[in-house]
Amino acid sequence: MPLVWSSSIDNLDWTELAALYRAAPLGNKTPEGLRTAFTNSMFKCFVYEDDKLVGVGRALADGVDCSYICDVALLPSHQGLGLGKQIVAKLVSLSSGHKKIILYAVPGKEPFYKKFGFKRMSTAMAIFENQGEAQERGYVNET
């Protein structure tokens, strides 16, 4: 069955989206939180197969200076097939024209994103809701 691509949240099943993030696994995100995050994102990418959501990604962007790609997730059954590459490529394309495109990745996935031209930033910093967990998972360090 062919994949169907969409950028619309009009008929999105937010509970299905939350289940995709848990399965990916990209964390336990609530349907309400995802609705807020995706509504406030300039670029959205949803991929369906047989009316089932199998892949997703989004980018927060201001239209001029910065686009931030985040929350790229695939069902495990669709990982390793090139679909993630297509989603990231679509979001990079949609973000063209911005002075910088920033990406937040799961630790260990950096080689995947380097293929698109992303480079590690030496000045990126973050404050996480749970700093200890972020450090344990490799997102931040004390240095």
Mean pLDDT of the chain: 94
The model's pLDDT over 39-50, given as tens digits with 9 standing for 90+, comes to 999 999 999 999
Identify the band that residue 143 occupies on the pLDDT scale cut at 50, 70 and 90: low
Structure pTM? 0.91
Average pLDDT value for residue range 89-116: 93
CB-based contact 75:54 (threshold 8 Å) = yes
Q: Is the pLDDT of residue 1 over 90?
A: no
- In sequence order, the 6+-apart residues with CB closer than 8 A to the CB of 115 are 85
For residue 133, what are the CA distances in angstroms to 5, 101, 141?
A: 34, 26, 11
- What the chain holds in terms of domains, given with CATH numbers, is 3-104 (3.40.630.30)
Q: How far apart are the first and last CA of the chain?
A: 49
| Concatenated DSSP letters of 41-78 | -SEEEEEEETTEEEEEEEEEE-SSSEEEEEEEEE-GGG
> How do beta strands 3-6 and 52-61 pair?
unpaired
- pLDDT given at position 23: 97
